[in-house]
Structure 1
């Protein structure tokens, strides 16, 4: 599952550990053996980083909620209008201006680290401009939300007093009320966008809209005092005066009853009575007007590679075959007699492999975290300053969430990162996948990658806080494989758990492309996943409905991980005794989330440097 805050940051800008000592964070120099890195010409570095600074500031003004995730509260009283034509026009114009300014700087005069920043900024800005092409916007803006991708899934948690938004001062509480007004406006504008789609024939699926209606029904069914929006009232700081508490309590109640709930009801009623009958039946983008064009773009943007849906589909099929062979080995090792399909059934049903309770599941993740923390210094030269919290999802949203996710902390480490796990329908869940899930969502997966980047003040903001899904999720999936190095998969059931998660990512290549480019139905996709894994039907259904809701995102995991695994093997083969796993991980991690082709160039340069030393 992509990091929650990362997902939200991308949405908003496009709408889309232990007590180990921390070493000094700095971007590693990358030079070749043939020639030293060129010395930056006076002024080139300064111009480049001023461009980065100006671009970041302009982005924060357009996307004020993003700043809150970074602990920047200058615009915390604003919600943003990231759904209007004016927003898209301003964002597109800013990207075009940034690219022109970048290309006015002589790349050759920059040192190697600055050239890396130049290349990443050029790539990401070019991709942004492509995404803002009118032809693509006409295919995305009329579909402002679904059950997996929309502010209605994000904002209640953001505003509940326990998320990224701060609630330490009276001003914080007042700012939240001001953001409520912006959210209400966003809902009404979203209805307007849906109406545009009705007129143009660009519509969401009946499946996703039914799920949204259920989400909104659940929110509206809550009493005011039980609403996430009322959460801050239940945790006033002790320093607040009685007068402030009384005023804010009344204003929060009024905001919920007179603004938030009525707006939520307007959206629910519109979707249920008007939009749902006009939504499309076909699950895949291929059934939507212009969907083939949109899917091809999304595949390129998500993977950062020029791969076709057919190439990815076939890669997935080959990976499924390979992983199946490894699963057969585990089945033999534990002495199970019967087919692999029967072994899947056994794993789904065995009471010994079921969590006993939500509390036991939570404690299990605490125990895994402690064991992982003890191993991390052997593989990483830098440990994040930010701690890592472990929590289950809020019960009001857990049904439609993945098995786990990560929400980033603040760059100053004052707010820890959070690993969320899913305790919904506990009898359908099994314990063998717990270690691999923690490695992915927690440490050293999303928590390390996101925290190390944003804590590195030597990086420009877009490299500290930006990124691409192939790198972000590729690193997290690669992190799961470190369980072999760390000795956590000697237990055959935990090893089968990581194979199951790897199988999930391989199946995603098959199923996502199957749904969106080959006409697979929801039912066919679910059946395929059940036949090739030990997933329960609840999880398989949620996964398939996720792929329907956010096309191409699920492709990033396996594509990114295979790239990092290939680069590690290449480094080991070429460097031999000079290979150092800590140095390799530093090369991958310490300059933020790189497009995969740029990451490969960086590793190639590091290999050349090490060979020449």
Structure 2
């Protein structure tokens, strides 16, 4: 996995990936399950060794698992040495994998073999010179970047624990790494200035705004000051006084100056040479990079043209369903008029942040009553519901999910955004919860990481097409889970599905067909009841994260296709609980691997029947 681009487990999964409450203690590395044959044993040892090496290279991945062995460091994201080390690890892993006879593995390990080969090969391709030169010199944007996920980690309510004196000391050491990392990012940006591979001005301005907000917090108002506002009783008064001073000092003399240096560099040196264009194809070498990103995000060998046409087809289908809901509520006027009504009528706008919170609590209670009808496999990890932190709410999506720890001591968190309440519509709340929380991201991620029989890369890793495809598929379960009985809530479900269909059109439009920001926003407003604020945030996200938005609909359509196939083949014997268990019980799979797994399961069910 590319160290300069990865968001680790810290990536927010949004509708695009993690601030959590403090957890109790460090979790030991996952035990390697007993193998059933010598080849299984060789494979599991390879998985274990590869994972241990990865955790040393990427200590934040360990931290998010609750493994504190490397908690005194952030890792190395941007150096040539880090890139070379990660590339060499991938090459070694593929060589060792090729020495294992797949035909002698048990069925689960055959799946694991295929996933590992696919993921490692994909990672290795990212180090090819023509791809690497496009990515490493753009180390930060307003969705991806250490300046975004590190404040959450260090806040005192994030992934890093603050239970012991060592926890507080480790955080100080990570702060020093963070300062160094921001300066390394500047150096990489300068390399891109020389080759013409630069971020769009739009992205740069958003990053500058994010840094401005963090710098303006000052010392005692800083997110980084949070841990010393609440010490555990086990830390002595003398140590509390010392740590409070040291935290204030490093924020004042280290973090704020480093963020200021990055902000000033971006504003003064980088912004004047940044691109006016927003699409990858308008950047040197960008077209080839975009093709790679399509394949890596969808896990399928698709072209931009194919994806664009699929998106247009899905937009047309969903539009017909929206017309039906408009008629169901007796609205007189065009679909565009209905969109305006949904955007502007006060009845759909929350009166307060607390109303939103209570609404999501009520939705969770209703959903959980129906879960046993659809799921036999459910996670142990609890779920918390929180508002998005203020410092990132402006550029966040309507909701996102942050994973908990495998032992459940740190719960998963569903965040709902409260920025610009008049543009926050309660008709979208039910479908948002299904996607981000239950049975979407919370079920899928928690079920995988709670299963110690899976190798670590399947418990904790994954691909966007599966992760986001499952979450979007979860939205389609609205009827059996008792959601969207109100036509307006159903419009919310259709609106969110329309968003994912429009992503196929707009992402490819921007990065392969020369669409502008304003053209893309106009398309989304014309085809959905989204507010302009939301459409703008979405388009700017696609600009910053090319290809990522394609994964949702591609993954969902693949899962739905497999479900339809199983329903047709098994008829009355089809059990949605068994199907969902098959999709979920081996972690996030590439689409081709998932298709084969479900096809094999269908054949087994037919044979047993």
* Range class of TM-score, shorter chain: over 0.9
Structure 1 segments, 4+ long, off by >4 Å, are 6-10, 12-16
User: Is the CA contact 2:64–2:405 (under 8 Å) kept in the aligned structure 1?
Assistant: yes
Q: Distance in 1 between matches of 2:222 and 2:386?
A: 19
Distance 1:217 1:513, change over 3 A: same
Whether 1:116 aligns to 2:104 is no
User: Is the CA contact 1:12–1:66 (under 8 Å) kept in the aligned structure 2?
Assistant: no
Give a deviation string over 1:307-343, Cα, whole Å, max 9, x none: 1000000000000000000000000000100000000
Give a deviation string over 1:345-369, Cα, whole Å, max 9, x none: 0000111111110011111111111
Gap runs ≥5 in structure 1: 1-5, 17-39
User: Is the CA contact 1:372–1:443 (under 8 Å) kept in the aligned structure 2?
Assistant: yes
Whether 1:337 aligns to 2:337 is no
User: Is the CA contact 2:5–2:139 (under 8 Å) kept in the aligned structure 1?
Assistant: no
Gap runs ≥5 in structure 2: 12-34
Matched with 1:207 is 202
Aligned pairs (5 A) from 1:123-272: 123-272=118-267
Matched with 1:23 is none
Q: CA shift at 1:168, angstroms?
A: 0.8
Q: What do you get for the CA RMSD once the two structures are aligned?
A: 1.7
Aligned pairs (5 A) from 1:367-378: 367-378=362-373
Matched with 1:423 is 418
Q: Distance in 1 between matches of 2:220 and 2:363?
A: 35
Q: Distance in 1 between matches of 2:364 and 2:246?
A: 41
Q: Distance in 1 between matches of 2:3 and 2:390?
A: 20
Q: Distance in 2 between matches of 1:301 and 1:542?
A: 23
Whether 1:476 aligns to 2:471 is yes
Relative contact order, higher structure (CA 8 A, sep 6+): 1
User: Is the CA contact 2:430–2:489 (under 8 Å) kept in the aligned structure 1?
Assistant: yes
User: Is the CA contact 1:205–1:280 (under 8 Å) kept in the aligned structure 2?
Assistant: yes
Matched with 1:520 is 515
Q: Distance in 1 between matches of 2:279 and 2:206?
A: 16
Distance 1:429 1:7, change over 3 A: farther
Matched with 1:408 is 403
User: Is the CA contact 1:188–1:263 (under 8 Å) kept in the aligned structure 2?
Assistant: yes
So what's the TM-score if we normalise by structure 2?
0.95
Q: CA shift at 1:8, angstroms?
A: 11
Q: Which moved more, 1:70-79 or 1:479-488?
A: 479-488
Q: 1:610 aligns with which of 599, 605, 609?
A: 605
Q: Secondary structure at the match of 1:410?
A: coil
Distance 1:499 1:47, change over 3 A: same
Distance 1:440 1:320, change over 3 A: same
User: Is the CA contact 1:144–1:150 (under 8 Å) kept in the aligned structure 2?
Assistant: yes
Q: CA shift at 1:111, angstroms?
A: 1.3
So what's the TM-score if we normalise by structure 1?
0.94
Whether 1:296 aligns to 2:291 is yes
Matched with 2:317 is 322
Matched with 1:107 is 102
Matched with 2:71 is 76
User: Is the CA contact 1:15–1:141 (under 8 Å) kept in the aligned structure 2?
Assistant: no
Aligned residues: 586
Q: CA shift at 1:13, angstroms?
A: 5.6
Q: CA shift at 1:490, angstroms?
A: 1.7
Q: 2:359 aligns with which of 322, 342, 364?
A: 364
Q: Distance in 1 between matches of 2:4 and 2:484?
A: 34
User: Is the CA contact 1:62–1:82 (under 8 Å) kept in the aligned structure 2?
Assistant: no
Q: Distance in 1 between matches of 2:81 and 2:190?
A: 18
Q: Distance in 2 between matches of 1:375 and 1:248?
A: 49
Q: Secondary structure at the match of 1:305?
A: coil
User: Is the CA contact 1:14–1:82 (under 8 Å) kept in the aligned structure 2?
Assistant: no
Q: CA shift at 1:572, angstroms?
A: 0.3
Whether 1:555 aligns to 2:553 is no
Q: 2:438 aligns with which of 438, 443, 447?
A: 443
Whether 1:63 aligns to 2:37 is no
Give a deviation string over 1:201-241, Cα, whole Å, max 9, x none: 11000000011111111111112111100010111112221
User: Is the CA contact 2:10–2:149 (under 8 Å) kept in the aligned structure 1?
Assistant: no
